[in-house]
Amino acid sequence: MTIKISTQIHSEHILSEWSTTLMRNCFGKLALTIVIFGLLLATRLAAEKSKPTNPAKPVKIKVAQFYNPNNPEGGDTQRLIQLMRTNPEIRLEKWGGITLPSGGAKAALMMSIAGDTAPDLGLSWFHIVRNEIKQGFLYPLNEWIGDDTNGNGQIDDDEAKWEGWKKIKPLWRRVATINGKVYAVPWSVHTDLAIIYRVDMIAAAGLNPNKPPATWGEFLYWCQKLTDPNKKIPGAVVQQGQKAIAIPSSGYQWLPWIQSQGGAPIVQIRKSPKTGKEYEFSSGATSFITPDGEDLTAVKPQWHANFASKEGMKAAELIYKLRWMKWMINPKNKEPINLSAQDIQNHFVMVDGEKLEFSESEIITGVGRPAYGQRGGSQSDLLGRGEVAMTITTISDLTAIGSRSGVDPSLLSWKVGCHTRLDLAQKDKESFKSRITIL
């Protein structure tokens, strides 16, 4: 089950209902080659309009994603097959590059670009598409989408010649557009990022799996109740006992902690040309009107990492506690007791007015352990063996998560929370619930 944290990650790619319309418009008049590998990237049309073409000869388009002849039942493939049936002048071919061990997801594509064997149509990611544009890998699509006639650097609705462009969210359109040139057609993808936990381990610790934590304080309490450093785990590569949660190393999996505090990992600063005053906007903002009514849309933004903000520091503090907090178990009632540096130095702690002495061996460090890519150390490995009771991952299919971790899917479930912005002055209301949209 998930603690009440969830992230909606929205990026945009191709092949929605309107994408085939664009492809028909693009490729029906194709005397050039489109290299689209983007958010739905329209890439470098290595286009040679000057070369004559034989109208009777089908135009062949190499597709890196979306088209899989070996799986004709797939939704994307079916739409593309129908596209070819209604447009016999178009012939799609599945593109395949060489595989490079440990070369990363983009290695084959980069090699194909260098060797002039890149696909005509493909997929890129929102966070690297602009770098690919700057390197000249992608071809602008304005001749099919529209032109920036008013000079604001974007293709507005009244400038779009392709109706599908108007259906795309303004934020996604901005990502794919630089200086009025459109290099990609966004494709919407939805993913939830959440904390998954094993119902059996939660119940065994005396906790209610149907009532997950609502605050960070409750979450840390859960983590302490789920930690047993002396427990022997069968099959563990390195015996570290049972920890509450696997802490992933991927940076994006840390972002929801900041956002659940009401913060923004990245902000943009726009400076008023009239007053010289700087205004801060969120990374996903599409309107840039100041409190004084000044429109800063045309002002080039300065992007700043916001990790050192109050919200970011609170999130970092939580992750630090998960890994390094000092605490012990009260021998009388088996409840966790948090220890300060002074408590550890004194070798005693005051509990309800009573002095409780303890030894070094009774001090427990942290409630989580890092997940890593080495043998037996992945999040799925740790969750499957019971070395952790919780982990952070994307959720789409519990059966698939259970298969990866070797856990019966019936022992896994989640409860998605709703978005909340919290008053940081009210520590008791630190919400662990978050529903976030990330570009």
What's the burial of 156, exposed, middle or buried (CB within 10 Å: 0-12/13-18/19+)? middle
- Would you say the C-alpha torsion 164, 168, 170, 172 has a positive or negative sign? negative
The rounded Cα 128 to chain-centroid distance in angstroms is 13
Strands 354-357 and 348-351: what pairing? Answer: antiparallel
Residue bearing tokens 């400076």: 271
Torsion of CA 129, 132, 137, 139, to 10 degrees: 40
DSSP conformation class of 87: -
- Are 304 and 313 contacting, i.e. CB atoms less than 8 angstroms apart? no
Interatomic CA distance for residues 36 and 41, integer angstroms: 4
The β-bridge partners of 327 are 338, 364
Interatomic CA distance for residues 285 and 270, integer angstroms: 12
Interatomic CA distance for residues 215 and 238, integer angstroms: 32
DSSP 264-301: -SEEEEEE-TTT--EEEEETT----B-TT--B-TTSPP
DSSP conformation class of 160: B
Residue 434 one-letter amino acid: S
Residue bearing tokens 């002849």: 69
Task: Provide the pLDDT for residue 36.
Answer: 44
The β-bridge partners of 38 are 123
Task: Provide the pLDDT for residue 8.
Answer: 33
Name the most confidently modeled range: 188-197, 283-292, 413-422. 283-292
Task: Provide the pLDDT for residue 225.
Answer: 97
Higher pLDDT, 7 or 392: 392
Instruction: Express each pLDDT in 173-203 by its tens digit.
Output: 888 899 999 998 887 776 777 888 999 999 9
Instruction: Express each pLDDT in 4-51 by its tens digit.
Output: 333 333 333 332 223 333 333 333 333 222 334 434 444 433 344 445
Name the most confidently modeled range: 68-72, 161-165, 408-412. 161-165
- Answer yes or no: is pLDDT of 127 > 80: no
The domain limits of the chain are 17-187, 202-255+313-438, 266-305
Task: Provide the pLDDT for residue 124.
Answer: 81
CATH number of 17-187: 3.40.190
- Would you say the C-alpha torsion 266, 272, 273, 275 has a positive or negative sign? negative
